[in-house]
Amino acid sequence: MMTRILTLSCIFLALATFAMMSDKPTVTISTSAPQIVNPGDEFMVSINIEKGTLKKGAVLQQIIPAGFTATAIENEGSQFYFENQMVRFVWEKMPDKPVIVLAYLLKSDLNSSVGFKKLEGTFISEQNNSTSQITIPSNTFFVTNDFPVSGAKAFTGNSGSLKVLRSIEEKKGEVSTGYRVNIDVSNQNESGFASWTDQIPAGYSVEVNAANNGIFSREGAFIKFNWKEMPVEKTWSFSYTIFPSPELDVEAAPSIQGIMIYGSDESLQTFIPAAITLPKIAGANPVAAVVISAPDDEVLTEPIVENVPENKTEISSESETTIQSEEISEPIDKEPVASANARHSVMPNVQRGIYYRVQIAATKRSPTRDSEFFETRYHITRPVDMVEQDGWKKYCIGTFARLEPAKAFEMETREHISDAFVVAYRDGQRIPVAEAMETLSLSLNQ
């Protein structure tokens, strides 16, 4: 008898639990917004909530990127708030209708940084005397100055027939293992120009594999391919490879975000594929010795040696006369990590913040040289500064706020000194170029 009562009790408890679970409303939320935005533009964000039988209080909130402000258009009976870069819709009681549509305007500041931004948020509701929280699917959009979005007669977003598939594979380079990014395009009936942009992580060099008649360029963290007329084939491809610098933690597995913009100036269309995460490469790339041979008429008494790991002895004086350029085992734009006790001197007009210079020589035993010495022997007309670091005298010229003009000046300087390369500083202290790039990239995205 007791067994039967216990059995019936278990059945009733299970039925009650099932009834409570069945009564729990199912909520589905989606967000709609343009995929490209110009700095200074204003655009609408629409949020569709299929709330089912939900009746009690709720809060919907979305985090807004820095440099944007929001104002309400449709709040569906809620109280609208915008503060601390967060949009919030608050209901004491949800409307009776099963589907509600919210809308607000986002305005981009004229100084908004170029790059990919996200709208991310949560929906919190009261259900069965408890609270439930769900994550709202994020929306990605691209802030750019390259396309007059507000001037386009039609902007159809992601409704075109063009589709993009990206894949990544490891690729062995001369120095290190990198990531080859393959982009395959499927096009049914689209025509006009096409532009592809990938935002890659800081600290990576780039090698183009196939541009498919497109024009390739790199601007800071952005890899770009542009076609005045997209290829006529139904399926076409292009690819590039990125290589991490030795200082980077290749186990971090950062991601790449991209966008395809195509059509015409009067009718823009876009496609943003899902971000891809770089696969982990087993084992970090060791920092190898870089031996840079001096020009034939160099009077410095020893070659420049950079990136010497702790377990490798310095090149002895007996072997210095046999150093050849083919012994270079790393690209010379790889910058060693500055030691904590690095000593700096004779650096006039030390700048604040991050900046780049071009190093033209380094020595341990030669006497200190001045600008006149380098002008007479190598036709370097810019003032030359010398910095002492870890027992080395390092000579630099130029000062640049961005890496691109520094790299251009590096190539110009190599016409006179073939081993010139870019270095980075923060507040007068030497830092890795990769660290400078990453710091500047983070500050632009804040």
Q: How many residues does the chain have?
A: 446
Closest CA to 68 of 29, 103, 117, 102: 117
Read off the pLDDT band of 339 (50, 70, 90).
very low
**Helices in 348-414 by DSSP H: which ranges?**
371-378, 403-413
Write the DSSP string, 6-23.
Answer: HHHHHHHHHHHHHHHHHH
| CA dist list (Å): 15 to 2, 4, 145, 273, 286 | 20, 17, 60, 45, 63
Structure-token pair, residue 438: 């990453």
Q: Look at 67 and 320; give whichever has higher pLDDT.
A: 67
| pLDDT one-digit tens code per residue, 151-171 | 665 565 665 678 888 888 887
> Which is nearest to 244 in space by CA: 205, 210, 209?
205
Instruction: Please write the tens of the pLDDT for every residue from 201-212.
Output: 888 888 888 888
Mean pLDDT (whole number) for 43-54: 90
In this structure, are residues 275 and 166 in contact, taking their beta carbons and an 8 Å threshold? no
Q: Which letter, b or e, does each residue of 165-189 get, where b requires 16 or more Cβ atoms within 10 Å of its Cβ?
A: ebebeebeeebbebbbbbbebebee
Work out the angle between the directed axes of helices 403-413 and 433-445 (0-180°, nearest 10).
150
Which range scores top for mean pLDDT: 99-108, 210-219, 348-357?
99-108
Model confidence at 99: pLDDT above 90: yes
Predicted confidence (pLDDT) at residue 285 exceeds the cutoff of 70: no
Alpha carbons within 13 angstroms on the beta-carbon side of residue 213 total 10
**Out of 14-28, 332-346, 368-382, which region has the weakest mean confidence (pLDDT)?**
332-346
| pLDDT given for residue 443 in this prediction | 53
Which pLDDT does position 242 carry in this prediction?
A: 87
Name beta bridge partners: 422: 358
Res. 111 pLDDT band, cuts 50 70 90: confident
Alpha-carbon distance of 397 to 294, in angstroms, equals 17
pLDDT of 162: 82
Residue type, position 371, single letter: S
Least confident of 23-27, 151-155, 340-344, 432-436: 340-344
Task: State residue 46's pLDDT score.
Answer: 93
More confident residue, 439 or 116: 116
Higher pLDDT, 127 or 236: 236
Residue 227 has pLDDT above 60, yes or no: yes
User: What is the reported pLDDT for 280?
Assistant: 67
For residue 287, give the 3-state DSSP assignment. Answer: coil
pLDDT digits (tens, 9 = 90+) for 178-189: 888 988 988 888
- pLDDT at 201 (0 to 100): 85
In this model, does residue 404 exceed pLDDT 50?
A: yes
pLDDT at 130: 76
Domains of the chain, first to last: 25-143 (2.60.40.830), 149-277 (2.60.40.740), 290-445 (3.30.70.1070)
Report the C-alpha gap between 359 and 333 in whole angstroms: 10
Could you tell me which residues come within 8 angstroms of residue 156 by beta carbon, excluding any fewer than 6 positions away? 267, 268, 269
Whether residue 326 has pLDDT greater than 60: no
CA distance 3 to 9: 10
pTM over 0.95: no
Both structure tokens of 378: 């190598």
Q: Which of 243-252, 311-320, 353-362, 370-379 has the lowest mean pLDDT?
A: 311-320
Tell whether the model's pLDDT for residue 299 goes beyond 50. no
Q: What is the pLDDT of residue 21?
A: 43
DSSP 313-348: PPPPGGGGGG--GGG--S-TT--PPPPTT----S--
pLDDT at 298 over 80: no
What percent of the chain lies above the pLDDT cut of 70? 71
How far is residue 147 from each of residues 143, 193, 358, 374, measured CA to CA in Å?
10, 12, 34, 45
What gap in Å lies between CA 145 and CA 219, rounded to an integer?
Answer: 13
